[in-house]
Homo-oligomer: A and B are copies of this chain.
């Protein structure tokens, strides 16, 4: 049995409401306008309010429109254990899928009773890294972050001459990208007491998080071909929150001259729900205006339409003691993604500008998102200014860097008058002690 093709609804309509009551909570992250994709039980799923809908269940019930359910690529996509299959669908099939799901979940859906039986409480669902990530790249796109970190290491010359010309990025490690909730073992590494060494090998003493926003590539370019910056936005599948865990003491010793390596590649946590480009379109903003002193952007990076997003980002920390006592985590940072110097479209166009082949499922992250104020700094290195200004947690203890048992919770959401809030949920991870 297949539903008629008229069963489509536009989740881009801000007035659309769902029969899933929790989706209509104005403080919730997942209204019917969001419908982010994730992976549950090895298959694609959608989040709505506090519920999860597995797409294979919808398929088995014959609730997809005929054109989709007769599309072989679509049927294969639902059998892939990641979202890569959905991202590789024709754009029109992706739109149809999203509108089909919206119709099923919208007020007045004739299928409500059947879909309702399929919904699972999100709290009971184990989520996964949503894409099979071929390559992961991390940028360094926040002017405030680059200036803060640069001024610690080079007080007289914080920003290197290339920074405002070229979106600085480096390759990260794909194998150690982990799902939100995965504990992170404190890494061991070489660290030094003085700049010249000698090093000793042991657990990192300066564990840090980095608050980032990442996006998954939704369309590939062949090796040797570039991606025009004007097309780059349309090649992004969707966005997630990223925690680029960092061992600062390891980083300081190892990073010259080839960049961060073991200081970063022991774990990178991503949030489970990929908020698609379409849901974020209303919150899309241009990059910040360049000042008169700033260099003119090179043509291959010119992104006048803009692809920054007005996302509010928060970092919260809960110590083991706080979690035992049932205390909420302490808000330690609140900033925004709208003022990033380099935009997502610029990152993608730059990455492919030399002919590097971007593949569906590749993850590109922004680098630490820091704003102009102390409170909006996106990592402890900056937030505590190398530990010289510790921050207080709700249990009365102080933090310069992360301690064993600390849980870091990143949240992000978009808000605008007259629109439902579009949220990312949470990206979390607890630091476990180093292995003996």
CB atoms of A356 and B256 under 8 A apart:
no
Query: In whole angstroms, what is the CA distance A259 to B257 when docked?
Result: 6
Stretch from A29-37, A162-170, A231-239, A410-418 that touches the partner = A162-170
> Interface of A with B (CB < 8 Å)?
134-135, 140, 150, 160-162, 165-166, 168-176, 178, 185, 187-190, 195-201, 223-226, 247, 250, 253-262, 265-267, 295, 298-300, 350-351, 353-359, 362, 435
22 A-B residue pairs with CB within 8 Å: A134-B175, A135-B173, A162-B253, A165-B190, A170-B258, A171-B173, A173-B356, A174-B174, A175-B362, A185-B355, A189-B353, A189-B354, A197-B295, A200-B298, A201-B298, A223-B267, A224-B266, A224-B435, A255-B258, A256-B257, A258-B259, A355-B435
CB atoms of A254 and B168 under 8 A apart:
yes
CB atoms of A356 and B265 under 8 A apart:
yes
CB atoms of B354 and A247 under 8 A apart:
yes
CB atoms of A197 and B161 under 8 A apart:
yes
State how many angstroms separate the Cβ of A200 from the closest Cβ of chain B. 8
CB atoms of B354 and A201 under 8 A apart:
no
State how many angstroms separate the Cβ of A187 from the closest Cβ of chain B. 4
Q: Which has the most chain B C-beta neighbours within 10 Å: A134, A162, A168?
A: A162
Return the contact of A255 from the options B134, B195, B257 (Cβ within 8 A): B257
Residue of B whose beta carbon sits closest to that of A165: B199
Return the contact of A258 from the options B168, B178, B351 (Cβ within 8 A): B168
Residue of B whose beta carbon sits closest to that of A199: B165
State how many angstroms separate the Cβ of A135 from the closest Cβ of chain B. 5
Residue of B whose beta carbon sits closest to that of A356: B265
Q: Which 8 A-B pairs have the closest CB atoms?
A: A259-B259, A187-B354, A171-B171, A185-B224, A170-B258, A258-B259, A262-B354, A266-B354
Residues of B within 8 A of A172 (CB): 171
Residues of B within 8 A of A299 (CB): 201
State how many angstroms separate the Cβ of A85 from the closest Cβ of chain B. 18
CB atoms of B298 and A356 under 8 A apart:
no
CB atoms of B295 and A256 under 8 A apart:
no
